[in-house]
Amino acid sequence: LTQAQCERIHGAIMRVLSQTGVIVESEEAREILHGAGGTVHPEKRRVTLPESAVQRAIEAAPKTIRLYGQDPKYDVELGGRNVNTLGGAAAVTTHHLDGAYRPSTLHDLVEFNRLQDALENLDVLHGMVDPTELGEQYSPRLYSIVAATTFATTYKPCALQVDNRPEGVRDLFQMLVMIRGSEEEARRRPLFSVHDSNARPPFALQEENARVII
């Protein structure tokens, strides 16, 4: 893109955020955005953000983020001009060597994790399948089970999904504390990123996703 094209895109984004804004279902998130310079429109649960608030957030964000493997040789620095590769992600069926498609299982997850762990050109591991055989009683903690399985089958940093509840984030952190040996070490050398607490198109952030991010 030319500089002029970049500026056009930037200008359009700033207009959308400052004039249209985003529906934010979480009251706590609306308060946080208000404290950062946003304007809350209570009747629509919508928040608009001036360009100055967006630029402050960009300037305050870290320019690089380090993820640490269970083995230090797999540590990764995200940012700058670095190029990193990520596995993935979350298929509910697996294509087998006999040509058949079958529902993905926990065993498939283990096998794919072992494959990704062995690939020299893959920096961050993401579970390639979501197990489907665990049953409804485990569904609220599916991604906690996936995370525990992943930590046990790779030495690399991980990109993890999370159940749409704060407890899911706490599950992951407690696993990290067990791996690192203390909360201090867990915070100093993070082993994973959570990357899929998504906005709902168009221009909406759901209550549960906001709670996970917070």
pLDDT cut 90: percent of the chain above it: 79
pLDDT cut 70: percent of the chain above it: 99
Q: Is the pLDDT of residue 155 over 80?
A: yes
Contact, 54 vs 61, CB < 8 A? Answer: no
Q: How confident is the model at residue 209 (pLDDT cuts 50, 70, 90)?
A: confident
Helix pair angle (166-180, 142-151), 10° resolution: 20
Q: Is the pLDDT of residue 178 over 80?
A: yes
Q: Is the pLDDT of residue 197 over 70?
A: no
How many CA atoms lie less than 13 Å away from 12 in the CB half-sphere? 5
pLDDT at 90: 85
Look-up: residue for tokens 């083995």? 71
pLDDT at 105: 96
**Rounded CA separation 73/76 (Å):** 9
pLDDT at 196: 67
Lowest model confidence (mean pLDDT) among 55-64, 125-134, 196-205: 196-205
Phi-psi region of 63 (alpha: psi -120 to 50; beta: other; left: phi over 0): alpha
pLDDT at 167: 84
Average pLDDT over the chain reads 93
pLDDT at 190: 94
> Rounded to whole angstroms, what are the CA distances from 62 to 78, 80, 99, 176, 211?
10, 11, 45, 22, 22
This prediction's pTM: 0.83
Going by C-beta distance under 8 Å and a sequence separation of 6 or more, which residues neighbour residue 90?
126, 127, 128, 129, 130, 161
Average pLDDT on 46-54 reads 97
pLDDT at 92: 93
